[in-house]
Structure 1
Amino acid sequence: MSMKRFDQINMIPFIDIMLVLLAIVLTTATFISQGMIPVDLPTAEQVSEPSQDEEPLEIAINAQNQLFLAGDAVTIEQLGEKLGAQATPETLIVLRIDKAAVFEHFVKLIDLLKTKELNNLSIQAQQEP
Protein backbone atom coordinates (compact mmCIF):
# COMPACT_ATOMS: atom_id res chain seq x y z
CA MET A 1 0.00 0.00 0.00
CA SER A 2 1.63 3.20 -1.10
CA MET A 3 0.93 6.70 0.17
CA LYS A 4 -0.31 9.29 -2.31
CA ARG A 5 2.20 12.04 -2.79
CA PHE A 6 1.18 15.40 -1.23
CA ASP A 7 1.95 18.02 -3.92
CA GLN A 8 -0.75 20.64 -3.51
CA ILE A 9 -2.44 22.55 -0.75
CA ASN A 10 -6.23 22.59 -0.83
CA MET A 11 -7.07 26.31 -0.55
CA ILE A 12 -10.87 26.01 -0.32
CA PRO A 13 -11.07 25.49 3.49
CA PHE A 14 -8.54 28.27 4.03
CA ILE A 15 -10.60 30.70 1.94
CA ASP A 16 -13.78 29.76 3.83
CA ILE A 17 -12.14 30.47 7.17
CA MET A 18 -10.73 33.79 5.97
CA LEU A 19 -14.15 34.94 4.71
CA VAL A 20 -15.73 34.17 8.09
CA LEU A 21 -12.94 36.06 9.89
CA LEU A 22 -13.36 38.99 7.50
CA ALA A 23 -17.09 39.17 8.26
CA ILE A 24 -16.39 39.14 12.02
CA VAL A 25 -13.73 41.87 11.74
CA LEU A 26 -15.96 44.12 9.61
CA THR A 27 -18.90 43.72 11.98
CA THR A 28 -16.75 44.48 15.02
CA ALA A 29 -15.10 47.45 13.30
CA THR A 30 -18.52 48.95 12.56
CA PHE A 31 -19.47 49.01 16.23
CA ILE A 32 -16.06 50.34 17.27
CA SER A 33 -16.08 53.14 14.65
CA GLN A 34 -19.55 54.27 15.71
CA GLY A 35 -18.43 54.25 19.34
CA MET A 36 -21.96 53.48 20.41
CA ILE A 37 -23.61 51.20 22.88
CA PRO A 38 -26.50 49.50 21.03
CA VAL A 39 -29.62 50.98 22.64
CA ASP A 40 -33.11 50.60 21.18
CA LEU A 41 -34.57 53.98 22.14
CA PRO A 42 -38.25 54.45 22.89
CA THR A 43 -40.26 56.61 20.51
CA ALA A 44 -41.89 59.97 21.24
CA GLU A 45 -43.92 62.48 19.25
CA GLN A 46 -41.77 65.46 20.26
CA VAL A 47 -38.03 64.81 20.08
CA SER A 48 -35.58 67.65 20.70
CA GLU A 49 -31.86 67.62 20.07
CA PRO A 50 -29.64 68.84 22.93
CA SER A 51 -27.85 72.13 22.32
CA GLN A 52 -24.24 71.83 21.23
CA ASP A 53 -22.86 74.62 23.45
CA GLU A 54 -20.73 72.13 25.36
CA GLU A 55 -20.00 68.44 25.01
CA PRO A 56 -22.76 66.55 26.87
CA LEU A 57 -22.00 63.71 29.26
CA GLU A 58 -23.71 60.57 27.97
CA ILE A 59 -25.11 57.89 30.28
CA ALA A 60 -26.63 54.77 28.71
CA ILE A 61 -28.45 51.68 29.95
CA ASN A 62 -28.68 48.85 27.40
CA ALA A 63 -31.24 46.02 27.16
CA GLN A 64 -29.08 43.87 29.46
CA ASN A 65 -29.34 46.61 32.14
CA GLN A 66 -25.63 47.45 31.89
CA LEU A 67 -24.72 51.03 32.78
CA PHE A 68 -22.31 53.05 30.60
CA LEU A 69 -20.72 56.46 31.14
CA ALA A 70 -19.34 57.95 27.90
CA GLY A 71 -19.14 54.46 26.38
CA ASP A 72 -17.36 52.80 29.32
CA ALA A 73 -19.16 50.13 31.37
CA VAL A 74 -19.53 51.20 35.02
CA THR A 75 -21.40 50.15 38.14
CA ILE A 76 -23.80 52.55 39.87
CA GLU A 77 -21.15 53.15 42.58
CA GLN A 78 -18.43 53.92 40.02
CA LEU A 79 -20.85 56.23 38.20
CA GLY A 80 -21.45 58.19 41.40
CA GLU A 81 -17.70 58.65 41.92
CA LYS A 82 -17.04 59.67 38.31
CA LEU A 83 -19.98 62.11 38.20
CA GLY A 84 -18.69 63.77 41.36
CA ALA A 85 -15.35 64.36 39.63
CA GLN A 86 -16.55 65.19 36.08
CA ALA A 87 -19.92 66.90 36.32
CA THR A 88 -21.17 70.23 37.62
CA PRO A 89 -24.84 71.26 37.99
CA GLU A 90 -24.55 73.04 34.60
CA THR A 91 -23.26 69.93 32.78
CA LEU A 92 -25.73 68.62 30.22
CA ILE A 93 -26.33 64.91 30.81
CA VAL A 94 -27.87 62.91 27.96
CA LEU A 95 -29.65 59.72 29.02
CA ARG A 96 -29.95 56.90 26.46
CA ILE A 97 -32.11 54.18 28.02
CA ASP A 98 -33.07 51.05 26.09
CA LYS A 99 -36.83 50.55 26.05
CA ALA A 100 -36.32 46.96 27.23
CA ALA A 101 -34.29 48.03 30.29
CA VAL A 102 -35.79 47.38 33.71
CA PHE A 103 -37.41 50.56 35.03
CA GLU A 104 -35.75 50.09 38.44
CA HIS A 105 -32.32 50.85 36.91
CA PHE A 106 -33.66 54.09 35.43
CA VAL A 107 -35.08 55.08 38.85
CA LYS A 108 -31.73 54.35 40.56
CA LEU A 109 -29.94 56.46 37.95
CA ILE A 110 -32.32 59.41 38.39
CA ASP A 111 -32.01 59.11 42.18
CA LEU A 112 -28.20 59.21 41.91
CA LEU A 113 -28.35 62.28 39.64
CA LYS A 114 -30.67 64.04 42.12
CA THR A 115 -28.34 63.36 45.05
CA LYS A 116 -25.46 64.86 43.03
CA GLU A 117 -27.74 67.85 42.16
CA LEU A 118 -27.34 67.15 38.43
CA ASN A 119 -30.66 68.28 37.01
CA ASN A 120 -29.65 69.41 33.50
CA LEU A 121 -30.94 66.24 31.81
CA SER A 122 -31.95 65.31 28.29
CA ILE A 123 -33.60 61.94 27.68
CA GLN A 124 -32.93 60.72 24.16
CA ALA A 125 -35.76 59.13 22.15
CA GLN A 126 -36.54 58.32 18.52
CA GLN A 127 -39.01 60.32 16.46
CA GLU A 128 -42.23 58.38 15.86
CA PRO A 129 -42.64 57.46 12.18
Structure 2
Amino acid sequence: MKIKRGDGLNIVPFIDIMLVLLALVLSISTFISQGKIKVEVPTANNAPQENNSDDKPIVIVVSNDNKIYINDEEMNKDNLEHFIAKIPNDKVVNFKGDKSSSLEYLVFVIDQLTKKGHQHDKFRIDTQHN
Protein backbone atom coordinates (compact mmCIF):
# COMPACT_ATOMS: atom_id res chain seq x y z
CA MET A 1 0.00 0.00 0.00
CA LYS A 2 1.39 3.32 -1.05
CA ILE A 3 0.52 6.63 0.63
CA LYS A 4 -0.11 9.45 -1.77
CA ARG A 5 1.72 12.71 -1.20
CA GLY A 6 -1.39 14.66 -0.11
CA ASP A 7 -2.53 11.99 2.38
CA GLY A 8 -1.19 12.04 5.92
CA LEU A 9 -1.31 9.85 8.96
CA ASN A 10 -4.11 10.44 11.43
CA ILE A 11 -2.29 11.17 14.71
CA VAL A 12 -5.37 12.25 16.70
CA PRO A 13 -5.78 8.81 18.40
CA PHE A 14 -2.10 8.87 19.33
CA ILE A 15 -2.49 12.32 20.91
CA ASP A 16 -5.56 11.11 22.85
CA ILE A 17 -3.63 8.18 24.27
CA MET A 18 -0.70 10.40 25.25
CA LEU A 19 -3.00 12.84 27.05
CA VAL A 20 -4.57 10.00 29.04
CA LEU A 21 -1.10 8.69 29.98
CA LEU A 22 0.00 12.19 30.98
CA ALA A 23 -3.07 12.59 33.20
CA LEU A 24 -2.32 9.24 34.89
CA VAL A 25 1.32 10.13 35.53
CA LEU A 26 0.40 13.52 36.99
CA SER A 27 -2.27 12.10 39.28
CA ILE A 28 -0.01 9.30 40.53
CA SER A 29 2.92 11.65 41.13
CA THR A 30 0.85 13.75 43.55
CA PHE A 31 0.29 10.67 45.72
CA ILE A 32 3.98 9.82 45.69
CA SER A 33 5.07 13.32 46.75
CA GLN A 34 2.92 13.28 49.89
CA GLY A 35 5.32 11.06 51.85
CA LYS A 36 4.57 8.20 54.20
CA ILE A 37 3.51 10.11 57.32
CA LYS A 38 -0.09 11.31 57.22
CA VAL A 39 -0.10 15.01 58.07
CA GLU A 40 -2.97 17.43 57.66
CA VAL A 41 -1.20 20.74 57.05
CA PRO A 42 -2.93 24.04 57.74
CA THR A 43 -4.49 26.00 54.89
CA ALA A 44 -3.27 29.36 53.63
CA ASN A 45 -4.85 31.69 51.10
CA ASN A 46 -1.54 32.83 49.65
CA ALA A 47 0.55 29.68 49.92
CA PRO A 48 3.67 29.88 47.74
CA GLN A 49 3.92 27.56 44.78
CA GLU A 50 6.19 24.57 45.18
CA ASN A 51 9.72 25.18 43.97
CA ASN A 52 10.81 22.48 41.55
CA SER A 53 14.54 22.14 41.93
CA ASP A 54 16.87 19.24 41.25
CA ASP A 55 18.17 19.28 44.83
CA LYS A 56 15.89 17.14 47.02
CA PRO A 57 14.88 19.08 50.15
CA ILE A 58 15.09 17.83 53.71
CA VAL A 59 11.55 17.28 54.98
CA ILE A 60 10.88 17.74 58.69
CA VAL A 61 7.42 16.46 59.66
CA VAL A 62 5.61 16.85 62.98
CA SER A 63 2.59 14.56 63.19
CA ASN A 64 -0.65 15.24 65.07
CA ASP A 65 0.71 13.28 68.08
CA ASN A 66 3.87 15.50 68.09
CA LYS A 67 6.26 12.87 66.77
CA ILE A 68 9.13 14.24 64.67
CA TYR A 69 10.16 12.65 61.37
CA ILE A 70 13.02 13.62 59.09
CA ASN A 71 12.70 12.18 55.59
CA ASP A 72 10.19 9.62 56.97
CA GLU A 73 12.45 8.46 59.84
CA GLU A 74 11.30 9.09 63.43
CA MET A 75 13.60 11.22 65.56
CA ASN A 76 13.53 12.76 69.04
CA LYS A 77 14.08 16.46 69.80
CA ASP A 78 17.75 16.05 70.89
CA ASN A 79 18.66 14.16 67.72
CA LEU A 80 16.80 16.78 65.68
CA GLU A 81 19.02 19.49 67.12
CA HIS A 82 22.18 17.56 66.14
CA PHE A 83 20.75 16.81 62.69
CA ILE A 84 19.91 20.47 62.02
CA ALA A 85 23.44 21.49 63.07
CA LYS A 86 24.84 19.28 60.28
CA ILE A 87 22.58 20.62 57.50
CA PRO A 88 24.44 22.80 54.97
CA ASN A 89 23.26 26.43 55.12
CA ASP A 90 22.18 26.39 51.47
CA LYS A 91 20.14 23.17 51.72
CA VAL A 92 16.37 23.51 51.26
CA VAL A 93 14.40 22.52 54.37
CA ASN A 94 10.62 21.91 54.24
CA PHE A 95 8.64 21.91 57.48
CA LYS A 96 5.34 20.03 57.50
CA GLY A 97 3.45 20.33 60.74
CA ASP A 98 0.04 18.87 61.34
CA LYS A 99 -2.43 21.63 62.15
CA SER A 100 -3.16 20.02 65.52
CA SER A 101 0.54 19.60 66.45
CA SER A 102 2.34 21.85 68.91
CA LEU A 103 3.73 25.14 67.63
CA GLU A 104 6.75 24.50 69.85
CA TYR A 105 8.39 22.28 67.20
CA LEU A 106 8.09 24.87 64.44
CA VAL A 107 9.66 27.50 66.70
CA PHE A 108 12.39 25.02 67.70
CA VAL A 109 13.29 24.21 64.09
CA ILE A 110 13.34 27.89 63.06
CA ASP A 111 15.44 28.75 66.13
CA GLN A 112 17.99 26.02 65.39
CA LEU A 113 18.27 27.02 61.71
CA THR A 114 18.64 30.71 62.62
CA LYS A 115 21.27 29.92 65.26
CA LYS A 116 23.46 28.16 62.70
CA GLY A 117 23.02 30.88 60.05
CA HIS A 118 20.82 28.92 57.62
CA GLN A 119 19.72 30.94 54.59
CA HIS A 120 16.19 32.16 55.30
CA ASP A 121 15.08 31.69 51.69
CA LYS A 122 15.92 27.97 51.94
CA PHE A 123 13.23 27.25 54.57
CA ARG A 124 9.61 26.54 53.70
CA ILE A 125 6.55 25.82 55.78
CA ASP A 126 4.26 23.53 53.78
CA THR A 127 0.59 24.44 53.70
CA GLN A 128 -2.27 23.52 51.46
CA HIS A 129 -3.74 26.19 49.23
CA ASN A 130 -7.22 27.25 50.23
TM bucket normalised to smaller: 0.5 to 0.7
Equivalent residue runs for 1:23-62 within 5 Å: 35-47=35-47, 48-62=49-63
Letter in 1 for 2:93: I
The alignment's TM-score, normalised by the length of structure 2, stands at 0.65
Letter in 1 for 2:65: Q
Report whether the alignment pairs 1:90 with 2:90: yes
**C-alpha contact (below 8 Å) 2:41/2:127 kept by paired residues:** yes
Work out the percentage of aligned pairs sharing the same amino acid: 24
Aligned equivalent of 1:73: 74
**C-alpha contact (below 8 Å) 1:76/1:109 kept by paired residues:** no
Q: What SS does the aligned partner of 2:111 have?
A: helix
RMSD: 1.6
Unaligned runs of 5+ in 1: 1-33
Aligned equivalent of 1:122: 124
Q: Distance in 2 between matches of 1:50 and 1:80?
A: 26
1:17-40 per-residue CA deviation (whole Å, 9 max, x = no partner) reads xxxxxxxxxxxxxxxxx7421110
1:32-81 per-residue CA deviation (whole Å, 9 max, x = no partner) reads xx742111010111221023231100001111111111111111211122
Q: Distance in 1 between matches of 2:51 and 2:63?
A: 21
Q: Give the direction of change, closer, same or farther, for the CA distance of 1:80–1:35 in structure 2 (3 Å limit).
A: same
Q: How many residues align?
A: 94
Aligned equivalent of 1:101: 101
